Amino acid sequence: MVNPMMPTDPAAPPYASTQSVARLIAAEIRDHLWPWSRSGFQRQRAVQAAGLALALAASVAWVLAALGQLQAGAVIGWWFGWSVFEVVVRLGSKPYVKDGPWWGRRYRVANTMDMVCYVGFKNLLIGATLFIGLKSLGFLVI
Amino acid sequence: MKFLAAFRNTLLSLVLLATAPLALGDAYEAKLPDEINTAPELCKYVSCGDVLPGATVFSERKGQPRYVEGYAEENGQRKLIGYVMLSTDITDTPAYSGKPVITLIGMDTGGRFVGVKILKHSEPILLLGIPESALIRFNQQYIGQFVGNNIEIGQSRPEESIIGLDAISGATVTVIAQNQVMMTSGTAVARQVGILKPTIREQAKFVETGTKPDWATLVKDGSVKRLVVKPEQVGLPRGDTLFIDLWFGYLNQPDVGRAILGDAAYRNLMSRLHEGEHALFVIRSGGVESFKGSGFVRGGIYDRVQVRQGGDSFTFRDLDSSNLYGIEAAGAPAFNESAIFIVRSKAFSAAYPWKFVFLGNRVDRATGARSFTNFDTEYWLSAAYLQGGRPKVVKPDAPWVKVWKARAVEIGLFAALLVAVAVVYAFRDALTRRATRKNKWPVNAFKYSAWVVSIGFVGFGLMAQPSITQVLTWFHAMLFHWTWELFLTDPFIFLFWIFIIVTTFVWGRGLFCGWLCPFGSLSELLYKVGAAVGLKRFQFQLPRKWHDRLKWVKYGVFFGLLAVSFFSMGLAEKLAEVEPFKTTFLVGLFNRSWPYTLFAAGLLGLSIFTERPFCKYLCPLGASLAMPSTFRWFGLKRKQECNSCKACAVVCGSQAIDENGRIDHRECLHCLDCMVLYADSHACPPLSQERKRRTKAGLPLTPIGANGYFIPIKPVPARAEALAPKN
């Protein structure tokens, strides 16, 4: 039976039932930063592996930017490209998002738009922090 | 289906019409010759005669900051008739785009502005919407004004000797920045050429303790200051070596002077100074650049350093400098360039704060073009070295502070509106319980009031319509030149965005879009008025199938604009005309060319027949806010029975409730109609059923609980004493 009280069906990430708040926060931080999962790899090995390679390339792009060897536009391009792929990766490996208050424990199945919104928002925050940080330190020059 | 095809074609036509005739401004991102920033003969590259009528001959750039003298030829003789200045030679004040409006300014020998010409700007609002001619008309207000007048944006206040200039509606930040550019440029040149007399300041009286502080102490108490410029600040590649690393300090103060120079050298220096003359030292302890400049020639001006105090600038000629061979203070850094400079003016006083300025050029790494920029460090002698301590200095308010003060009442009312709407919405449970399907006034009274105030006061009055262009402008500013002051200069948009960001994360975008967006409010109000005046039978909703397809269009528009903005902000700004906000509120439906008017009027006309077509299908701002709404903290309530009951879905104007009774919070505009039903025991089928059951069984109707059901009746065991027979 459909539960209309949530926008999609409820989901339960492996760490959802942990009693320790610290463990929950640590698991959520890991979830935000690490889009892959064992089950994802088992289901779509090629996509997940390609995602891993692309993430590595995007990380190298940030490192090059931090060394002052990459223009701002190139970093933004890499980050955007990776973000698009992260949506695909997550839909295969961690297809859930949080519902309701961020401090709560309600999770639900993510549809494509939910995942686009989640990855877009998360990577905007991460990208903006790195971009502004590198720019204020003088590594990125516009 | 014919209607749907017609609707789709109409929408498409309107979009195409709105973006087709792009009335480009001449100066928007105009390509200027690179030499304009550096060439001695400025007037070879720009038409100085346009801003200094009558002048036929122009000098090379001179002075610091630089300007050009303009001459008229009469009877074969040259006569000085005024001055021409390039704003970016004097100030790099950024406008709303984060880039300066490059302006050529003409001033006669009496200090009156005689011509203003915009050479280049990057202001998105002037690209489309508000014509560039509005800025030209704004600038015309300076013609004939004396540069020493107190000119501000807003109403004149004769009692305070303030001359007010009419702002450009919808471009307040731009004109405030432009006023700063005009007045800063004008006064800088007017002071140099003697039109404006320098401010005479009371001279400092020093406390002499006889101590000789070491270098560290001098640095700690502020008697010696440092000015560092990194290579990336002037557009050079980042490196380990600084561009320039300078230390400087004021030498007339006996304790400081003796500590730096030693007793004999200090006495010698003071004996050479006349009354009202001041000495300061400068050393270069690092960096590759000389502060004297490689182009300096005997008899010339040091064009890389300057002292500024208030509005007065003090430059140094070769006779104003002498050698500094060593520093006596223990712990002083090694240096490879040094000088003692003399300020020969009674206008300078060491009792007041001043700035040591390094004047440089910034190289644009993308184009290689050079532009003027300066770096400064403030200096103010410690109170311990001044008799009576530091005098009280009242610094003038920053432009944005002036705006907040001048519009304090409106800002207060606007803030009160935002808070009031948020508070009303926070009490939505209480309001929806008072309302019923047939009488929604307990909710609608507040919502309709918010719409009316939003349209009249916020939209047409304050012109504070949030727009996707603001999001793009922030992005642009973040990349080029972020200054908080710029955004604070438009207090209503600033406050509105704080409200939008906070409420989107707490409740979703619906509170802004559904209650306070001026265009959205106008759109839905037209729909309601249409129904009230008998057009209800012509009103319609798109079939669910089509709604579910078309609702993605707005996300496409948003992502399209975002993608285009990566490559061309200008083009993104033009395409952002898909928002009819400028036409409706900023410029006016009848003040724009017909395609824009037709587009905006078409959308508003369509709004009479279908609810919020722009908000549902086209609005890029709504799409950008819908995405974070996925993660709003508190959504609207549902019951399990909603999965089979369609009552709420039928009344949902924004069509945000799907066939399973689930609310799509990205589409929900918080009309609260479903929440009214949720607590209405005559309209919500599960509640109605329970009400009938209880009535039939003679059970009391308890209040509706937070979960949307009647509070259950739980039989409580009777207490023994209550059951005991009474005597």
Alpha carbons B173 and B96: distance in angstroms, whole number? 6
Q: What is the pLDDT of residue B235?
A: 79
Give A-chain residues touching B634 at CB under 8 angstroms: 100-101
CB contact (8 A) between residue B479 and residue A68: no
Whether B20 is in a domain gets the answer no
Q: Is residue B273 domain-shared with residue B320, that is, in the same domain?
A: yes
Work out how many domains chain B is built from and give that number. Answer: 4
- CB-nearest partner of B642 from A4, A72, A142: A4
Read off φ and ψ for residue B511, nearest 5 degrees: -65, -40
- CB-nearest partner of B479 from A7, A72, A118: A72
Query: Which residues make Cβ contacts (< 8 Å) with residue B442, sequence separation at least 6?
Result: B431, B432, B434, B435
Q: What residues form DSSP beta bridges with B663?
A: B657
C-beta of residue B260 within 8 angstroms of C-beta of residue B329: yes
CB contact (8 A) between residue A5 and residue B666: no
Give A-chain residues touching B660 at CB under 8 angstroms: 2, 4
Q: What is the pLDDT of residue B129?
A: 64
Whether B439 is in a domain gets the answer yes
Which residues of chain A have a Cβ shorter than 8 Å from any chain B Cβ? Answer: 1-8, 68, 72-73, 76-77, 80, 97-98, 100-102, 113-114, 116-118, 120-121, 128, 131-132, 138-139, 141-142
Alpha carbons B360 and B357: distance in angstroms, whole number? 9
N- to C-terminal Cα distance for chain A? 54
Whether B687 is in a domain gets the answer no
- In this complex, is the C-beta atom of B307 within 8 Å of any C-beta atom belonging to chain A? no
Read off the tokens for B527.
């729909």
Q: What is the pLDDT of residue B474?
A: 77
- In this complex, is the C-beta atom of B40 within 8 Å of any C-beta atom belonging to chain A? no
Reported confidence tier of residue A48, pLDDT bands at 50, 70, 90: confident
- In this complex, is the C-beta atom of B538 within 8 Å of any C-beta atom belonging to chain A? no
Q: Is residue B165 domain-shared with residue B229, that is, in the same domain?
A: no
Alpha carbons A123 and B684: distance in angstroms, whole number? 42
Whether B685 is in a domain gets the answer no
Mutate to test the interface with A, among B662, B664, B665, B667 (most CBs of A within 10 A): B662
SS3 category, B296:
coil
- In this complex, is the C-beta atom of B484 within 8 Å of any C-beta atom belonging to chain A? no
Nearest residue to B90 via CA among B180, B150, B198, B174: B180
Q: How far is CA B384 from CA A12, B203, B281, B394, in A?
A: 67, 16, 20, 20
Q: What is the pLDDT of residue B21?
A: 38
Local structure of residue B74 (DSSP, 8 states): E
Nearest residue to B465 via CA among B629, B559, B574, B588: B588
Q: Is residue B68 domain-shared with residue B111, that is, in the same domain?
A: yes
Whether B23 is in a domain gets the answer no
Give the number of other Cβ atoms within 10 Å of residue B697's Cβ.
8
Whether B632 is in a domain gets the answer yes
Read off the tokens for B3.
């209607």
For B639-672, the pLDDT digits (tens) are 999 999 989 999 899 999 999 999 999 999 999 9
**Nearest CA to CA, how far is B110 from chain A (Å)?**
42
Local structure of residue B726 (DSSP, 8 states): P
Give A-chain residues touching B663 at CB under 8 angstroms: 4, 7
Say which residue, A77 or B695, is predicted with more confidence.
B695
Q: Quote the domain boundaries for residue B240.
A: 215-385
Q: What is the pLDDT of residue B15?
A: 41
C-beta of residue B281 within 8 angstroms of C-beta of residue B338: yes
Q: What is the pLDDT of residue B154?
A: 76
Whether B8 is in a domain gets the answer no
C-beta of residue B272 within 8 angstroms of C-beta of residue B327: no
C-beta of residue A81 within 8 angstroms of C-beta of residue A62: no
Give the number of other Cβ atoms within 10 Å of residue A78's Cβ.
21
Give the E-state strand segments of B20-161 in sequence order. Answer: 57-58, 68-74, 77-86, 102-108, 113-120, 150-153
Where does residue A111 rank: exposed (0-12), middle (13-18), buried (19+ CB within 10 A)?
A: middle
**A111, closest residue in chain B (CA to CA):** B630
Whether B13 is in a domain gets the answer no
For A101-136, the pLDDT digits (tens) are 999 999 999 999 999 999 999 998 898 888 888 877
CB contact (8 A) between residue B635 and residue A100: yes
Q: Is residue B460 domain-shared with residue B495, that is, in the same domain?
A: yes
For B231-272, the pLDDT digits (tens) are 878 878 777 889 999 999 999 999 999 999 999 999 999 999
Q: What is the pLDDT of residue A22?
A: 93
SS3 category, A120:
helix
**B663, closest residue in chain A (CA to CA):** A7
**Nearest CA to CA, how far is A32 from chain B (Å)?**
14
Q: Is residue B259 domain-shared with residue B311, that is, in the same domain?
A: yes
Q: Is residue B635 domain-shared with residue B508, that is, in the same domain?
A: yes
For every residue of B419-475, DSSP letters joined together read HHHHHHHHTHHHHHHH--SS--HHHHHHHHHHHHHIIIIIIIIT-----HHHHHHHH
Q: What is the pLDDT of residue A142?
A: 54
**Nearest CA to CA, how far is B478 from chain A (Å)?**
8
Query: Which residues make Cβ contacts (< 8 Å) with residue A112, sequence separation at least 6?
Result: A87, A91
- Per-residue exposure over B553-576, b if at least 16 CB sit within 10 Å of its own CB, e if not: bbbebbeebbebbeeebbebbbbb
Q: Is residue B621 domain-shared with residue B668, that is, in the same domain?
A: yes
Last-in-domain residue among B385, B411, B438: B385
Q: Is residue B708 domain-shared with residue B640, that is, in the same domain?
A: no
Q: What is the ipTM of this complex?
A: 0.88
Alpha carbons B602 and B18: distance in angstroms, whole number? 11
SS3 category, B380:
coil
Q: What is the pLDDT of residue B299?
A: 57
Q: Is residue B366 domain-shared with residue B491, that is, in the same domain?
A: no
Q: Is residue B428 domain-shared with residue B371, that is, in the same domain?
A: no
Last-in-domain residue among B385, B418, B434: B385
Q: Is residue B425 domain-shared with residue B287, that is, in the same domain?
A: no
B228 Ramachandran zone, left/alpha/beta (phi>0; psi -120 to 50): beta
Give the E-state strand segments of B121-253 in sequence order. Answer: 150-153, 162-165, 224-229, 244-250
Q: What is the pLDDT of residue B542?
A: 95
CA B677 to chain centroid, in Å, comes to: 43
Q: Is residue B415 domain-shared with residue B561, that is, in the same domain?
A: yes
Local structure of residue B390 (DSSP, 8 states): S
Q: What residues form DSSP beta bridges with B73?
A: B78
Give A-chain residues touching B666 at CB under 8 angstroms: 113, 117
**Nearest CA to CA, how far is B21 from chain A (Å)?**
30
**A9, closest residue in chain B (CA to CA):** B662
Mean pLDDT of A84-90: 92
CB contact (8 A) between residue A7 and residue B664: yes
- CB-nearest partner of A142 from B479, B639, B661: B479
Q: Residue ranges of chain B with pLDDT lower than 50? A: 1-25
Peptide bond into B65 cis (omega under 30): yes
**Nearest CA to CA, how far is A63 from chain B (Å)?**
15
Alpha carbons B620 and B342: distance in angstroms, whole number? 59
Local structure of residue B168 (DSSP, 8 states): P
Last-in-domain residue among B192, B227, B246: B192
AA identity, residue B581: F
